[in-house]
């Protein structure tokens, strides 16, 4: 049964979304348990797939429809996407638990069935994009994940439909650029399978059409990954989305985009092509550096807590970009480890902000005085995640930034190293400003004057702070056991040719 896990992790949530939608129309209450059961099953499949890869020691191949690769579609689970898959499965399950009370609050009852069906389809698209070994299949799964994201964001309040529409224009532009890139690769090589392309492409590295196709692939993936110059769709759409949706999308979608970029740069194309022959990673590095500085400063300027986090997402993607740009084992280890850490960090942060908005009824960073008294758990999780984003030792953020720094030093990219340190400093200013206002400023009148008299302060539900605590625990655990993760999994996750 274990050999079917790579296919099951995508097909089971797909089938479950049909049941959730069909039964949800009749019996609304069946949606949440079905969704939770599916995401729990996906966690089991993800863990099983990673375990199969670790015990086998080499990538696991799964031929869909029993057709061998270049003709049929192939799923490949290796150390790299096994780890990312496991992190995605954990965070999707936590986002599912978290969404119980949030959806009751934000989504009208008649729309629960389609909402949960799209929630699970979004998870399907993410898992599929991580596992697939076929370029066109990745495009189709990218579209499933994107359509669910557009619709879920469109459910938000205020200007959410407008933000979703602008995200759709940008996202479709990116997906079409990706499709055009796959078309360029197909017209030159005739194959769609990643491993097959790796064999056919080397003699063609000089042809200009290939370089243009490579550029389209990078631009398309960059849009989906919210890389610096093409990230403008992210702050509006994730801020206005319902909080259960931004908790699902923020940690996962952009990191899967980063994984796809690593897959294209170093698995489909030879690392020597991406780093030396065509200075693609150098250019990406300099853009990422500009992105880190620009977005860290913009994050400082935001009053709205959620919008501040959105700019943080783009900064973290910038760190991953710098990791890729180093072009050596250390830098890439740091980039992959940072993808996994960032999935958990952003999940914790967005869950905390969602709970604060729901119970403290504010998102303004200046009105958080006395939060620790009313919501001790949420503020505790916010502190742990903040420290991890800054990069303070016990948390996992420190270790991934440590490898990134080592990578930049080894690659003698002193500017990259400087910007990494400066970025951490800017994040430190950002978070300590919030911590200071949360814990140390005591203005009881500010608290009462804003609160309407007579509204009781209902406690955060268990289904809200349980996932938060689990995420914070994961952040600490990843930090403590980073050495085993790096030597056990990441050492083998680096594509050959480095």
Partner 1 sequence: MVKDLEDVVIRTASRILIPFIQIYSLYVFVHGHGSPGGGFQGGCIMAASFILMAVAFNLNMAERRLKERTNAIFCALGVFIYAGTGYLSFLYSGNFLDYGQLSHLLPTDPIKARYYGMAMIELGVQITVMAVMVSIFLDLVTAGKHEKTPEEDGND
Partner 2 sequence: MNKLAALLVTLMVGGLLFYSTAFFPKWGDPKQPGSMHVSPRYIEKTLAETKVPNAVTSVLADYRGYDTMFETSVIFTAGIAVMMLLRRPS
Partner 3 sequence: MTDFILSKYNYWIYVILIMIGFYGMMAKNNLMKKLIGMTIFQWSIILFYISIGSKKGGTVPIIDPSLHPAIRAVDYINPLPHVLMLTAIVVGVATTGIALSLLILIYRKYGTVEEDEILEALKK
Residue 63 binds: one of partner 1, partner 3, partner 2, none (C-beta under 5 to 8 A by kind): partner 1
**For helices 31-56 and 5-26, what crossing angle results, to 10°?**
180
Give the x/- contact pattern for partner 3 in 109-148, rule: CB under 8 A: ---------------------------x---x--x---x-
Q: Looking at 2, 5, 9, 18, which residue binds partner 1 (CB under 8 A)? A: 18
Per CB under 8 A, the segment of 59-67, 224-232, 380-388, 448-456 that binds partner 1 is 59-67
List the Cα angle 85/334/39 in 5-degree steps.
Answer: 15
Distance CA 9, CA 85 (A): 9
Residue 401, CA distances (Å) to 162, 332, 362 in order: 36, 11, 32
Residue 5 binds: one of partner 2, partner 1, partner 3, none (C-beta under 5 to 8 A by kind): none
Per CB under 8 A, the segment of 69-77, 357-365, 377-385, 477-485 that binds partner 2 is 69-77
Per CB under 8 A, the segment of 10-18, 143-151, 281-289, 428-436 that binds partner 1 is 10-18
CB 351 within 8 A of CB 289: no
CB 460 within 8 A of CB 355: yes
CB 367 within 8 A of CB 448: no
| Residue 70 in the binding site for partner 2 (CB under 8 A) | yes
Question: Two tokens at 10?
Answer: 């995508």
DSSP 1: -
Other C-beta atoms closer than 10 Å to the C-beta of 397 total 31
**CA–centroid distance for 406 within its chain:** 24
Question: Two tokens at 121?
Answer: 């389809």
Residue 376, CA distances (Å) to 52, 264, 287, 369 in order: 40, 43, 39, 12
Q: Looking at 5, 32, 45, 62, which residue binds partner 1 (CB under 8 A)? A: 62
Residue 86 or 152 having the CB closest to partner 3:
152
Q: Looking at 191, 221, 252, 388, which residue binds partner 2 (CB under 8 A)? A: 191
Residue 14 or 300 having the CB closest to partner 1:
14
Chain residues 170-229 in contact with partner 3, contact rule CB under 8 A: 172-173, 175-176, 179-180, 183, 186-187
Main-chain phi, psi angles of 461, to 5 degrees: -70, 160
Closest-CA residue to 89 (of 52, 140, 130, 59): 130
Residue 188 binds: one of partner 3, partner 2, partner 1, none (C-beta under 5 to 8 A by kind): partner 2
CA atoms within 13 A on the CB side of 310: 22
Distance CA 127, CA 130 (A): 5
Residue 70 binds: one of partner 3, partner 2, partner 1, none (C-beta under 5 to 8 A by kind): partner 2
Q: Looking at 2, 15, 169, 297, which residue binds partner 1 (CB under 8 A)? A: 15
Residues making contact with partner 1 (CB under 8 A): 4, 7, 11, 14-15, 18-19, 21-22, 25, 62-66
Residues making contact with partner 3 (CB under 8 A): 136, 140, 143, 147, 150-151, 154, 159, 161-162, 164-165, 168-169, 172-173, 175-176, 179-180, 183, 186-187
């Amino acid at each position: 049964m274990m050999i079917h896990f790579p296919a099951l992790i995508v097909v089971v949530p797909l089938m479950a979304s049909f049941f959730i939608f069909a039964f949800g129309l009749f019996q609304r209450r069946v949606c949440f348990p079905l969704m939770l059961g599916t995401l729990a099953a996906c966690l089991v499949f993800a863990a099983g797939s990673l375990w199969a890869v670790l015990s086998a020691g080499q990538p696991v191949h799964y031929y869909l429809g029993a057709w061998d690769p270049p003709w049929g579609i192939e799923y490949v689970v290796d150390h790299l996407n096994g780890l990312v898959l496991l992190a995605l499965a954990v965070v999707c399950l936590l986002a599912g638990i978290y969404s119980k009370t949030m959806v009751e609050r934000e989504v009208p009852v008649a729309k629960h069935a389609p909402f949960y069906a799209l929630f699970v389809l979004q998870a399907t698209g993410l898992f599929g994009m991580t596992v697939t070994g076929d370029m066109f299949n990745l495009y189709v799964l990218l579209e499933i994940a994107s359509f669910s994201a557009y619709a879920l964001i469109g459910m938000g309040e205020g200007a959410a439909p407008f933000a979703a529409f602008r995200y759709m224009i940008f996202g479709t532009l990116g997906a079409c650029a990706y499709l055009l890139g796959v078309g360029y690769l197909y017209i030159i090589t005739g194959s769609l399978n990643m491993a097959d392309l790796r064999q056919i492409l080397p003699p063609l590295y000089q042809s200009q059409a290939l370089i243009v196709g490579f550029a389209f692939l990078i631009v398309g993936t960059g849009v989906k990954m919210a890389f610096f110059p093409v990230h403008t769709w992210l702050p509006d759409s994730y801020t206005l989305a319902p909080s259960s949706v931004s908790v699902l999308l923020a940690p996962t979608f952009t990191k899967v985009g980063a994984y796809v970029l690593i897959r294209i740069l170093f698995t489909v194309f030879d690392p020597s092509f991406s780093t030396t022959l065509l200075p693609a990673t150098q250019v990406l590095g300099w853009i990422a550096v500009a992105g880190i500085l620009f977005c860290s400063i913009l994050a400082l300027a935001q009053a709205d807590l959620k919008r501040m986090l959105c700019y943080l997402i783009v900064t973290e993607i910038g760190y991953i970009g710098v990791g890729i740009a180093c072009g050596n084992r250390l830098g890439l280890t740091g980039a992959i480890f940072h993808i996994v850490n960032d999935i958990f960090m952003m999940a914790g942060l967005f869950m905390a902000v969602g709970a604060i908005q729901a119970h403290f009824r504010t998102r303004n960073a200046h009105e958080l005085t006395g939060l620790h008294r009313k919501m001790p758990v949420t503020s505790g999780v916010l502190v742990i995640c903040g420290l991890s984003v800054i990069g303070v030792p016990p948390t996992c953020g420190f270790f991934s930034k440590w490898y990134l720094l080592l990578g930049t030093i080894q690659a003698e990219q002193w500017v990259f190293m400087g910007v990494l340190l400066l970025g951490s400093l800017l994040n430190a200013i950002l978070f300590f400003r919030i911590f200071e206002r949360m814990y140390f400023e005591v203005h009881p009148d500010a608290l009462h004057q804003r609160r309407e008299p007579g509204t009781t302060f209902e406690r955060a539900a268990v289904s809200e702070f349980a996932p938060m605590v689990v995420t914070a625990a994961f952040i600490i655990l990843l930090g403590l056991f980073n050495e085993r993760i790096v030597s056990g999994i990441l050492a083998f996750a680096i594509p050959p040719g480095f």
